[in-house]
């Protein structure tokens, strides 16, 4: 889509977003976009805040569960959570 916009020669493109929606109550369906579960436009009255919270929270929950599963008492390997230098000093990185 971005390439098509660039090749069209347009100077400006209007983008709808939940952050810039001018709806008086909530976010309109056009600014919210597609319901990713169904592949269609979101229906009026959909609990988009809950959907957003779940989509943010679920990966974090899975990561936490995986961490406990890997690093639990049944694990044979102990992972070190930090590295401590044997000598004092400073490190300066150049041209990263």
Is 77 part of a structural domain of the chain? no
Residue 41 inside a domain? The answer is yes
Q: What is the mean pLDDT of residues 40-56?
A: 85
pLDDT at 2: 84
Q: In degrees rounded to 5, what are phi and psi of residue 80?
A: -85, 130
Q: Which is nearest to 37 in space by CA: 18, 50, 22, 20?
A: 50
pTM assigned to the model: 0.47
Tens-place pLDDT, residues 58-80: 878 887 877 665 655 555 555 66
Residue 58 host element (H or E): helix 48-71
Mean pLDDT value across residues 14-26: 89
Tokens of 85: 């230098």
21 belongs to a structural domain = yes
Total residues found in the chain within this entry: 96
Asked if the structure places residue 10 within a domain, the reply is: yes
> What integer is the mean pLDDT of 24-33?
89
Q: Is residue 89 part of a domain?
A: no
Number of domains in the chain: 1
In a domain, 40, yes or no: yes
- Please check whether residue 9 lies inside any domain of the structure: yes
Number of C-alpha atoms within 13 angstroms, CB side, residue 28?
9
Which residues span the domain enclosing 34? 2-71
Q: Does residue 88 fall inside a structural domain?
A: no
């Amino acid at each position: 889509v971005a390439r098509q916009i660039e090749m069209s020669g347009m100077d400006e493109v209007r983008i709808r977003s939940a952050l810039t929606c001018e709806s008086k109550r909530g976010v309109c369906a056009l600014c919210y976009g597609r319901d990713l579960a169904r592949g269609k436009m979101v229906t009026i009255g959909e609990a988009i805040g809950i959907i957003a919270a779940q989509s943010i929270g679920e990966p974090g929950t899975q990561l936490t569960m995986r961490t406990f599963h890997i690093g639990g008492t049944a694990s044979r390997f102990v992972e070190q959570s930090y590295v401590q230098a044997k000598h004092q000093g400073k490190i300066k990185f150049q041209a990263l």
